[in-house]
């Protein structure tokens, strides 16, 4: 059986916190990407309408 020291617990907490922050950054990036894709589709639609004229 292994014992967890205070230093080990603190290190684990810091790693978990860093991972949580990275997950939040990734989620924000994915949201921004989805928004950019949506806007690109809107512009493509507008462009297609102009090309039909």
Report the pLDDT value the prediction gives residue 4, as an integer from 0 to 100. 78
Report the pLDDT value the prediction gives residue 2, as an integer from 0 to 100. 66
pLDDT tens digits for range 4-30: 799 999 999 999 999 999 999 999 999
DSSP class per residue in 1-53? -----HHHHHHHHHHHHHHHHHHHHHHHHHHHHHHHHHHHHHHHHHHHHHHH-
Global pTM reads: 0.70
Q: What DSSP element (H or E) covers 5? A: none
Q: Above 60 in pLDDT, residue 1?
A: no
Report the pLDDT value the prediction gives residue 50, as an integer from 0 to 100. 93
């Amino acid at each position: 059986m292994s014992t967890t020291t205070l230093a080990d617990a603190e290190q684990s907490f810091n790693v978990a916190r860093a991972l949580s922050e990275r997950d939040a950054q990734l989620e924000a990036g994915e949201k921004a990407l989805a928004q950019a894709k949506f806007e690109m589709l809107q512009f493509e639609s507008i462009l297609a309408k102009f090309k039909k004229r």
